[in-house]
Amino acid sequence: MDPCVANRGVSLIDLANRYGTPLIVYDLNLIEENYRSIKDSTGARVLYSIKANPNLAILAFLRKLGSGADAASPGEVFLALKAGFKPSEVLYTGAYLSNDDIKYGIDSGVIFNFDSRRAFERAAALGYKPRLVFFRVDLGYGRGFTPGVTLAGEESKFGMFLNDAVEAYGLAKSLGVEEFGVHAMMGSNVLDPDYFLKIAELLREHAKVIEEKVGIKIRYFDMGGGFGIPYKPGEKPLDLGRLSRLKNLFPGELWVEPGRFIVGNAGYLITRVTEVKRKGSRTYVGVDVGMNVLIRPMLYGAYHHIVACSEGEGTEVVDVVGPICENTDKLAINRELPRVKEGDLLVILNAGAYVYSMSSNYNGRLRPAEVVIYNNEHSISRLRETLDSLTMLQVIPSFI
């Protein structure tokens, strides 16, 4: 399989030549396959996690497939509604929300998933009188792909332990809430299916205690996200067949919030070689994209596989580096690649999640265009920034 050709035979080289580089391309056919596979295997209602990739075309596409939306901020709520999601299809899970954040959610009519009892109290003080409410429970068990991604226990800033959750549900009941959901964040990029089954059991046990102590019935069980994708060669994909055990496990409706699993492997970051520099024993392959677009390797030590769209003679161990004025601006270190020259194209794989959504204009660098492809059609879904983008929201005060 040609790594420089997308799922349905669209040439990434042709797209790069047409739209320029750096360029991010999203394969909607693959996104559709991923969405249907996680939905069918778990039997759950899927709420796409917007933070993974907030591209409006992707949101609208997933809405048409029947997905709901998981939003973590007023901005993500805004994007979900802009893409056509109904407020009842959006679950708003925010941490340490300001009163303005809460009021935006109330005015938007979305479903709240409260991270603490105090957040619910502040919402009630602002006039919030929901029929349905969720609370985020810390199960004391969570796994991330790197130590910095902590999702459970005292070191995690998210959710509340069981005793606090009981109090939160009791308060909601006393204020007239009629329907209840429970939420737990499972992990981050986990490839072990048994892990999710353990989370499901813990969530079910916590919900049972809450129901008994508060005297309510929990109708919706949200296991969050964390479904992983392989980044490194040789990693085995998540065994979705094992996840079929989640069907009918809960005495209510199961919800899941995949983001990376749906879009991660459907994104291609195309970049052009600007220079090959040999410095002592090292070889640096400079490219026209840097950590302002793909920060995951610098932030987490994350791995992204890189392929060359050229047939160089032999291979070479290189550092692939960007144009940012930081020595940490290294997309790959000691990576064996075919020998490349100036003007050659490289494709960075698995760039569909947490790439553009974590990008910036650091060093005055512009963010790339985004293109979506579906079957044999392709179109710009986000325009490339221009230099004017850097000053669009800035004002020089009159006293200067």
Q: Choose the catalytic residue: 1, 325, 392, 393.
A: 325
Based on the residue annotation, tell me whether 325 is a catalytic residue of this protein.
Answer: yes
CA angle 275, 281, 284 (to 5 degrees): 20
Q: How many CA atoms lie within 13 A of 285 on its CB side?
A: 28
Asked whether 270 and 15 are in contact (CB, 8 A), the reply is yes
Asked whether 269 and 351 are in contact (CB, 8 A), the reply is yes
- 10 Å CB burial of residue 50 (0-12, 13-18, 19+) is buried
- How far apart CA 400 and CA 44 sit, in angstroms, is 58
Asked whether 264 and 350 are in contact (CB, 8 A), the reply is yes
β partners of residue 45: 255
Long-range contacts of 81-88 (CB under 8 A, 24+ apart): 81/108, 82/56, 83/56, 83/59, 84/60, 85/59, 87/111
* The two structure tokens encoding residue 163: 């005793």
- How far apart CA 96 and CA 115 sit, in angstroms, is 8
- 10 Å CB burial of residue 307 (0-12, 13-18, 19+) is middle
Q: Find, among 322, 256, 313, 253, the residue nearest to 285 by Cα.
A: 322
- How far apart CA 216 and CA 167 sit, in angstroms, is 12
- How far apart CA 162 and CA 328 sit, in angstroms, is 41
Amino acid found at 80? A
- How far apart CA 21 and CA 12 sit, in angstroms, is 11
Catalytic residue positions? Answer: 325
